[in-house]
Amino acid sequence: MKIGIITLPFNPNYGGLLQAFALQTVLKRMGHEVWSVNRKTRDMPLSIMIISFANRLIKSILKRKIGVIRSWATVKEVQVIDQHVIRFLSENIRTTDLLKSEKDFSNLSRYEFDAYIVGSDQVWRPKYSPSLANHFLGFIDGKSAIKRISYAASFGVDNWEFTPEQTDECRKLVTRFNAVGVREDSAVKLCKDNFGIDAVQVLDPTLLLAKEDYITLVENDNIPECKGTLLTYVLDKSPEKLEFISKIARETGLTEVSIMPKSIFRDAGSRRISDCIFPPVTAWLRGFMDAEYVITDSFHGTAFAIIFNKPFLALGNKKRGMTRFTSLLKVFGLEDRIILSADSLLTEKLYAPIDFKHVNEILATKKQEAMKFLEDSLVPH
């Protein structure tokens, strides 16, 4: 069967890239031909560019120093910053030709896909989806026999963010789906309450592969060992979180390591662009391989700590959606690994052992359920 996967546009997001890699790998192993739909990320609005430029110019003048003013990268600079991401994508994920706009979804008809799978990641969160209808397969003719499936689609939050108009449009489209699999337990309720459909909770695609699959990627890339053993993957840095991490490093005696760029472009500018380059995806994976402990405020950071059986603490990330953390950890009985405030480090939580034998048994059962969901959903007419 020829399958097209629709997820969020590819960018330097390790979890987003690896969930796409994982779902495609699983479907290929099932014997399908699979493409992930390649889409251009949204350009920075001109108004934001003007405001950003003006703010930085004013600051420079006030400081009587005209330094780096431009806070956005050019296309060529983005290619430098994303060079390792681009290579991982080209080597490990089969993609369609680039869709330059949401209108280009209609061009996918030339691939003659037998099925579309929407997911994973926050594909059903309005703020991340310029055209929600495309994430509900609105570009397919209503009478088409093409299979429509969602796998681990996420709303990102446990409250309803759709407008009434979006709700009506997407309700009509989702009722045409052959199967609806969502990532969070809260999404099951949201689908029932707002779409009137019964959805099934399934594992994030990254959890469908074994850690050996990821280790193979690392070994093929000849990534050297990490220089630290306290892996930190923090997306929303704050002084409180950084002090929290330093406190854990002092408490445990572990050496802190972060597999992230040294700086971001809006702070570094073109003169220090080398500091903005995202490390290889496989270097990020190597961090989990070599870690003795993991601190993260990322959903996928938490998922990979579980995959690699590493003790961890998850910093509750309300800005990015708490339900993603609580839902994932609830599956494995690990809700106590969440820290809700950076100043609430509890020694008993830090050293509390995790029964990974039990976690792995649950994971094996949930994998079987997820694979059955995919197999049943893709049965030919």
Confidence of residue 268 (pLDDT cuts 50, 70, 90): confident
pLDDT of residue 30: 97
pLDDT at 341: 67
- Domain 220-361 -> CATH class: alpha beta
Say if residue 267's pLDDT is above 90. no
Distance CA 156, CA 58 (A): 37
The per-residue pLDDT for 173 is 98
- pLDDT beyond 80 at 152: yes
Lowest mean pLDDT among 162-166, 193-197, 344-348: 344-348
pLDDT of amino acid 160: 97
Angle between helices 323-331 and 299-307 (to 10 degrees): 20
* The pLDDT of residue 346 is above 70: no
Structure tokens at 5: 């996967």
- The reported pLDDT for the residue numbered 316 is 81
- Give which of 169, 213, 178, 221 is closest to 197, Cα–Cα: 178
Topology of 2-42+76-207+365-377 in CATH?
A: Rossmann fold (3.40.50)
User: Which pLDDT score is estimated for 11?
Assistant: 92
Q: Please list the residue range(s) of the chain that carry CATH number 3.40.50.2000.
A: 2-42+76-207+365-377, 220-361
Asked if the model's pLDDT at residue 226 lies above 80, the reply is: yes
- What is the helix (H) or strand (E) element at residue 299, kind and residue range? helix 299-307
Point out the least confidently predicted range of 200-209, 290-299, 320-329.
Answer: 320-329
pLDDT band at 237 (very low <50, low <70, confident <90, very high): confident
What integer pLDDT is reported at residue 58 of this predicted model? 61
Going by C-alpha positions, the residue among 38, 3, 39 that lies closest to residue 23 is 3
Over range 252-262, report the average pLDDT.
94
Q: What is the pTM of this model?
A: 0.92
Residue 89 has pLDDT above 90, yes or no: yes
What is the distance between the alpha carbons of residues 232 and 297, in angstroms, rounded to a whole number? 9
- 150-154, 263-267, 272-276 — which is least confidently predicted? 263-267
Instruction: With residue 142 as reference, give the H or E element that holds it.
Output: none
pLDDT band at 171 (very low <50, low <70, confident <90, very high): very high
Q: 36-83, pLDDT tens digit by residue?
A: 999 987 554 555 455 555 555 565 565 555 455 567 888 899 999 999
Higher per-residue confidence, 75 vs 93: 93
Residue 104 has pLDDT above 90, yes or no: yes
Q: List, for residues 21-39, the tens digit of each pLDDT value.
A: 999 999 999 999 999 999 9
The Cα–Cα gap between 192 and 286 comes to 40
Q: 103: part of which helix (H) or strand (E)? A: none
pLDDT of residue 57: 57
Ranges 28-42, 177-191, 282-296, 353-367: which has the least confidence: 28-42
Tell whether the model's pLDDT for residue 163 goes beyond 80.
yes
Q: Find out whether 268 and 66 touch, Cβ atoms under 8 Å.
A: no
Residues 272-285 pLDDT 10s:
999 999 999 999 99
Place of tokens 């209609």: 106
The pLDDT score that the predictor gives to residue 142 is 87
pLDDT score for 41:
75
Question: At 270, is the pLDDT very low, low, confident or very high (cuts 50, 70, 90)?
Answer: confident
Under 8 Å between Cβ of 147 and 116: yes
Whole-number Å distance between alpha carbons of 31 and 324: 31
